[in-house]
Chain A
Amino acid sequence: MSMSYLVLENINKSFGAKVAVRNLSLEVPRGSIYGVIGPNGAGKTTTIRMIMNITVPDSGRVLIEGRERPADFKNIVGYLPEERGLYKKMTVLEIITYMAALKGFPETRSRKEAVPWLERMNLLEYKDHKVEELSKGMQQKLQFITTILHDPELIILDELFSGLDPLNIELIKSVILDLKARGKTILFSTHVMEQAEKLCDHVCMINRGSKVLDGRMSEVKAAHGTNTIELVVDGDASFVNQLPGVSRLVTYPNYLELQLADGADSNAILQAVASKVSVRRFSIEEPSLYNIFIEVAGVDPDQLASGTGGGAHA
């Protein structure tokens, strides 16, 4: 318990008749990367807003190092909301120093410390440009800098990867890993489970306002067995779902993810597949978060999020 930096205790929040968050408790260890995952509309943003004290919970407590709403909370936290935005008419450097000043960070320091960040984000040459002259992706990176420049202890990132291209996602990931190495606590939310899987060491899955699972990533995976098979083939493998012992599968033309029923023989599966098509890869894996989510929540997150862009799980 003493290891936890951020603790949520039995949080409830309803908007009218709609329950947004139901009896949610979680513990974010100091110096960890904590992923809150779930489909769109699961209650992630509401949870984060309650941590930020933007929304007040109907009941329950939010504790930072054991204290409720510490006085300096606003200065030690860095927050990137789901809805991004910056002052269009201010220059890049102006906005960085202003946002840092609002966190109690002196301008002389933020001016100096902005330079290496801008360099790392490939924005240095734009430092005197107005925000409105920047591309959407550049604005995202700029806002990320404003979130962390004041060296916050707790970094909260809502829908971290939305609006970023793959190259910038890698860039931001590397920064987050650096921040963790420096002992910062990072909590982020995403509906893109694959991204969370590669980044976080703790995970909390939410569905329809309730926690369905949480814990250390390695423990979560171990608890759900090694009964997943990753299969790459040449040819049509649609017959696989008729094989005995295959309980759930993800199918792309050449790529399949199979989940085996308890006691099923993976060798028998391999033989059956190899007799029909040529197998290029056959490996027994830990289950993906996506599959774990389906298993514990009993629903497909992509179907829940249909039409809202929540389908990138492969």
Chain B
Amino acid sequence: MRKFWIVLKREYAQVVKKKSFIVGLLLTPALMATIVVLPTFLARMKSSETENMAVIDQSRYEVGERFVESLKEYRLEDTTKPYYNVQELYKIDPADTTRFKQAEDSMRTLVSEKKLKYVLVLLPEPQLSDSNLFLITNSDNFTSLNRFEGKLSGILSSIRLEHSDINLSVDSVLELTHNVNLVTQDTKGESIPFTTKYFSALVFVGIMFSMILGYGQLVMRSVIEEKNSRIMEVLISSVSPFQLMCGKIVGLGAATFTQVAIWCVLGMGLFSIKGALDVDPAVARMMFDPVIVIFFVLFLIFGYLLFSTLFALIGSVVTSEKEAQSFVAPISITMILPFILGISVVQDPHSTMATVLSFIPLTAPTMTMMRVAFVAPTLTEISLFSGIVGEATLSLIVVIVSVLGMIWITSKIFRIGILMYGKRPTLPEIIKWIKY
């Protein structure tokens, strides 16, 4: 037991003392913060300026005027400035094709010169067909497009009604047929936007993925180094292979947790300084959700143990790091599955595929974490044996049992593999070692 600690201490010190550890410690959160904060930041910058536009109107019924009027309700955030500024409204007789052509060309030029953001072109009778109107723009601002569509639908519907046989006032029909605007709420009566849940889930799974894969591979490299430097035989004359293997795995695991713990402390520190971080309350709820945090810690521990033991096994049978890479690639892919399947998992966290992958040892840690992070904040009560908490617990048990099995198999292969130089053993040989 004492020797286990000595191995552990060395492995830990070898990582933590390195410059790359400190660089990774600082660089990773900086990178993540950039990824998380930058889009919001950019999105906010956009809306601080009034968008210029123009309308070319060939319709009868004053569609252009009514559209311009309807846009006045939109204001920039926290200001009294209008969101849209309609610089020109050309009313052109449908017969005057020369003037229309002229106006359209000059407006197109202005859009391409970025002097105008949108030009709405209404051909004659826009109420009859959608092909009789279009928008010239180089931007794909969803918000604005949705607004324009909504406003134009209303205006054109009322024109259609005015010219129909329905014996009702236009206003009452519009009242009867107005579009539903669906606001999502969770069972707690609060709403966390989809994107917040999605990105928070990605952050949790991302940390788990990079920690497990990064430090798991360190275990493998450390074994390969001792094999290649021939120091293994001396080590084995001092400690048992099992002590050596466990010391390595736990020592590097401790380094993993040091890194995550420092991040947590840094994060909490920044969070507690009011105003230092403008954290969305929805994001904060995700980050401090007890169910998510508990499962994150547990899956990080046991996921790490599972993969690092597997990596120790690979390290003990291969003869060089180059040879090991061919094993690392498929392992990385199984871990990265939740990212690849990303959207489809979060859209239906209870789908058969997501559920099955939660119970396959190698995909379980990341897949279950993804699902927990997505579903857990919406739980009203924590009941251990139903729903996602129950499934996650079961998935955790699967992982723990696999860890024990993996340690058993690896310890059998490890003690022989580490003393084999020169040639990689064949699969039948390895199976013989397990029985031996």
Chain A residues engaging chain B, CB cutoff 8 angstroms? 52, 54, 74-75, 77, 79-81, 83-89, 98-99, 101-104, 143, 146-147
Q: Can you name 18 extra interface pairs (CB under 8 A) apart from A80-B234, A87-B229?
A: A52-B237, A54-B233, A54-B236, A54-B419, A74-B237, A74-B239, A77-B237, A79-B234, A84-B230, A85-B229, A85-B231, A85-B234, A87-B225, A89-B14, A99-B234, A143-B234, A146-B234, A147-B234
Total A-B Cβ pairs within 8 A? 51
Please name the 5 residue pairs, one residue from A and one from B, whose CB atoms are nearest each other, closest first: A85-B230, A102-B238, A83-B230, A85-B229, A81-B233
Given known pairs A54-B237, A54-B419, A77-B237, the reply for A98 and B10 (CB within 8 Å) is yes
Q: Nearest residue in B to A158 (C-beta to C-beta)?
A: B233
**With A and B bound together, what is the CA distance between A269 and B359 in angstroms?**
89
Given known pairs A101-B6, A102-B6, the reply for A79 and B231 (CB within 8 Å) is no
**With A and B bound together, what is the CA distance between A117 and B235 in angstroms?**
21
Hey, what's the 0/1 contact readout for B187-230 against A, CB within 8 Å counting as 1?
00000000000000000000000000000000000000100011
Within 8 A of A (CB), among B233-247: 233-239
Judged by DSSP, the binding face of B is: helix
**With A and B bound together, what is the CA distance between A89 and B239 in angstroms?**
21
**With A and B bound together, what is the CA distance between A99 and B235 in angstroms?**
8
Q: How far is the CB of B38 from chain A (nearest CB, A)?
A: 37
Q: How far is the CB of B68 from chain A (nearest CB, A)?
A: 72
Contact A104 B2 (CB under 8 A): yes
Q: B60 at interface (Cβ–Cβ under 8 A)?
A: no
> Counting chain B CB atoms within 10 Å of each CB, which of A85, A101, A103, A143 scores highest?
A85
**With A and B bound together, what is the CA distance between A250 and B284 in angstroms?**
88
Contact A83 B421 (CB under 8 A): yes
Question: Which residues from chain B contact A77 at a C-beta distance below 8 Å?
Answer: 237
22 A-B residue pairs with Cβ-Cβ distance under 8 Å, sorted by A, are A74-B238, A74-B239, A79-B237, A81-B230, A81-B233, A81-B237, A83-B233, A83-B421, A84-B230, A85-B232, A85-B234, A86-B229, A86-B231, A87-B225, A87-B229, A87-B231, A89-B14, A99-B234, A99-B238, A101-B6, A104-B2, A147-B234
Given known pairs A54-B419, A83-B421, the reply for A98 and B6 (CB within 8 Å) is yes
Q: B285 at interface (Cβ–Cβ under 8 A)?
A: no
Question: Which residues from chain A contact B75 at a C-beta distance below 8 Å?
Answer: none
**With A and B bound together, what is the CA distance between A87 and B236 in angstroms?**
15
**With A and B bound together, what is the CA distance between A80 and B14 in angstroms?**
24
Q: B3 at interface (Cβ–Cβ under 8 A)?
A: yes
**With A and B bound together, what is the CA distance between A133 and B2 in angstroms?**
31
Q: How far is the CB of B431 from chain A (nearest CB, A)?
A: 17
**With A and B bound together, what is the CA distance between A99 and B233 in angstroms?**
12
Contact B231 A102 (CB under 8 A): no
**With A and B bound together, what is the CA distance between A161 and B3 in angstroms?**
30
**With A and B bound together, what is the CA distance between A99 and B419 in angstroms?**
18
Question: Which residues from chain A contact B3 at a C-beta distance below 8 Å?
Answer: 102, 104
Contact among A85, A102, A147 with B239 in the assembled complex (CB-CB below 8 Å): A102
**With A and B bound together, what is the CA distance between A85 and B225 in angstroms?**
10
Question: Which residues from chain A contact B229 at a C-beta distance below 8 Å?
Answer: 85-88
**With A and B bound together, what is the CA distance between A86 and B234 in angstroms?**
9
Q: How far is the CB of B132 from chain A (nearest CB, A)?
A: 74
**With A and B bound together, what is the CA distance between A74 and B3 in angstroms?**
11
Q: Nearest residue in B to A53 (C-beta to C-beta)?
A: B237
Question: Which residues from chain B contact A104 at a C-beta distance below 8 Å?
Answer: 2-3
**With A and B bound together, what is the CA distance between A88 and B239 in angstroms?**
20
Q: Nearest residue in A to B247 (C-beta to C-beta)?
A: A102
Q: Nearest residue in A to B18 (C-beta to C-beta)?
A: A89
Q: How far is the CB of A146 from chain B (nearest CB, A)?
A: 7
Q: Nearest residue in B to A86 (C-beta to C-beta)?
A: B231
Q: Nearest residue in B to A104 (C-beta to C-beta)?
A: B2
Question: Which residues from chain A contact B230 at a C-beta distance below 8 Å?
Answer: 81, 83-85
Contact B238 A103 (CB under 8 A): yes
Question: Which residues from chain B contact A99 at a C-beta distance below 8 Å?
Answer: 234, 238
Contact among B225, B232, B233, B235 with A102 in the assembled complex (CB-CB below 8 Å): B235
**With A and B bound together, what is the CA distance between A104 and B225 in angstroms?**
24
Q: How far is the CB of A70 from chain B (nearest CB, A)?
A: 14
Q: How far is the CB of A89 from chain B (nearest CB, A)?
A: 7
**With A and B bound together, what is the CA distance between A36 and B365 in angstroms?**
54
**With A and B bound together, what is the CA distance between A104 and B6 in angstroms?**
9
Q: Nearest residue in A to B222 (C-beta to C-beta)?
A: A87
Question: Which residues from chain B contact A52 at a C-beta distance below 8 Å?
Answer: 237
Question: Which residues from chain B contact A98 at a C-beta distance below 8 Å?
Answer: 6, 10
Question: Which residues from chain B contact A79 at a C-beta distance below 8 Å?
Answer: 233-234, 237
**With A and B bound together, what is the CA distance between A83 and B236 in angstroms?**
13
Within 8 A of A (CB), among B33-59: none
Question: Which residues from chain A contact B421 at a C-beta distance below 8 Å?
Answer: 83
Q: How far is the CB of A288 from chain B (nearest CB, A)?
A: 32
Question: Which residues from chain B contact A146 at a C-beta distance below 8 Å?
Answer: 234
Question: Which residues from chain A contact B7 at a C-beta distance below 8 Å?
Answer: 102
**With A and B bound together, what is the CA distance between A84 and B230 in angstroms?**
6
Q: How far is the CB of B8 from chain A (nearest CB, A)?
A: 12
Within 8 A of A (CB), among B389-422: 419, 421
**With A and B bound together, what is the CA distance between A52 and B235 in angstroms?**
12
Question: Which residues from chain A contact B238 at a C-beta distance below 8 Å?
Answer: 74-75, 99, 102-103
**With A and B bound together, what is the CA distance between A153 and B150 in angstroms?**
91
**With A and B bound together, what is the CA distance between A143 and B14 in angstroms?**
20
Q: How far is the CB of A85 from chain B (nearest CB, A)?
A: 3
Q: Nearest residue in A to B229 (C-beta to C-beta)?
A: A85
Q: Nearest residue in B to A75 (C-beta to C-beta)?
A: B238
Q: How far is the CB of B133 from chain A (nearest CB, A)?
A: 71
Question: Which residues from chain B contact A74 at a C-beta distance below 8 Å?
Answer: 237-239
Question: Which residues from chain A contact B235 at a C-beta distance below 8 Å?
Answer: 102
Q: Nearest residue in A to B239 (C-beta to C-beta)?
A: A102
**With A and B bound together, what is the CA distance between A77 and B230 in angstroms?**
19
**With A and B bound together, what is the CA distance between A52 and B10 in angstroms?**
24
Within 8 A of A (CB), among B1-31: 2-3, 6-7, 10, 14
Contact A81 B234 (CB under 8 A): yes
Question: Which residues from chain B contact A75 at a C-beta distance below 8 Å?
Answer: 238
Q: How far is the CB of B258 from chain A (nearest CB, A)?
A: 20
